């Protein structure tokens, strides 16, 4: 697995990270592994990559995740079938019943419905704030606040937030900051470098065009 140095340019990392030539054929492009199950040499005796079932990991998906992590300057990335699947996984990982969230006043509609219609039934509460106003966000924080969900730019009104300042507010309150980075993409901003805990991207909206594909990354 090649690891390009952090000083490598965006295009270099996008092309090379996760693109180890196939050891059997020498192919410089990772094959599309259309398999659900992987042979094991005995019980638990997985081979290179520890692959068992494609629902948990797949070499093609691993290559994508390694490249995305490199572009976000992250340690790890996970790819999903849709942006909302990625958002749902992040929220269910970081939030527990009784927790409180702070959302932007123009948060993406799908994210709002996930929180308002699903997570509230799970005992999660939320407040809405103008993310461009750090004092308004700070005022929305509660002792039980565990997460600030930020979009910058927002979808679809293109509101801008100071991610670094929001990270300071979140961490001062013992909370995490998650940034939906769909519109900017890691080409223009890397939220983790600004103090965010996690970064999500709806790749269909920005990488390939909404009509052609659906994918998500966290």
Q: pLDDT by residue (tens digit) across 75-107?
A: 999 999 888 999 999 999 999 999 999 999 999
Q: pLDDT by residue (tens digit) across 43-60?
A: 888 888 889 989 889 999
Question: Is pLDDT of 2 > 80?
Answer: no
Least confident of 80-89, 129-138, 195-204, 208-217: 208-217
Question: Is pLDDT of 208 > 60?
Answer: no
Token pair 């005995």 is at which residue? Answer: 42
3-state secondary structure of 12: helix
Domain residue extents for the chain: 1-71, 79-217
Residues 6+ apart with CB under 8 A from 119: 91, 95, 101, 126
What is the domain class of 79-217 according to CATH? alpha beta
Q: Where do the H-state alpha helices sit in the chain?
A: 10-16, 59-71, 83-94, 109-113, 134-140, 163-172, 185-188, 203
pTM: 0.86
């Amino acid at each position: 697995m090649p690891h390009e140095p952090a000083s490598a340019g965006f295009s270099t990392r996008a092309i090379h990270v996760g693109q180890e030539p196939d050891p059997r054929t020498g192919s410089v492009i990772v094959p599309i592994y259309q398999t659900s199950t992987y042979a094991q040499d005995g019980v638990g005796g997985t081979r290179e990559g520890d692959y068992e079932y494609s629902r948990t990991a797949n070499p093609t998906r691993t290559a994508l995740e390694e490249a995305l992590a490199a572009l976000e300057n992250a340690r790890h990335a996970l790819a999903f079938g849709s942006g909302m699947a990625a958002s749902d996984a992040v929220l269910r990982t970081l939030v527990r019943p009784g927790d409180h969230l702070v959302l932007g006043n123009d948060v993406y509609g799908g994210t709002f419905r996930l929180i308002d219609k699903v997570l509230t039934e799970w005992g999660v509460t939320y407040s809405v704030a103008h993310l461009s106003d750090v004092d308004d966000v700070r005022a929305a924080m509660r002792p039980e606040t565990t997460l600030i969900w930020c979009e910058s730019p927002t979808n679809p009104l293109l509101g801008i937030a100071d991610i670094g300042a929001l990270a300071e507010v979140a961490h001062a309150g013992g909370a995490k900051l998650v940034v939906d980075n769909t519109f900017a993409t890691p080409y223009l901003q890397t939220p983790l470098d600004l103090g965010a805990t996690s970064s999500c991207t709806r790749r269909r909206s920005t990488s390939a065009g909404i009509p052609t594909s659906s994918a998500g990354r966290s």
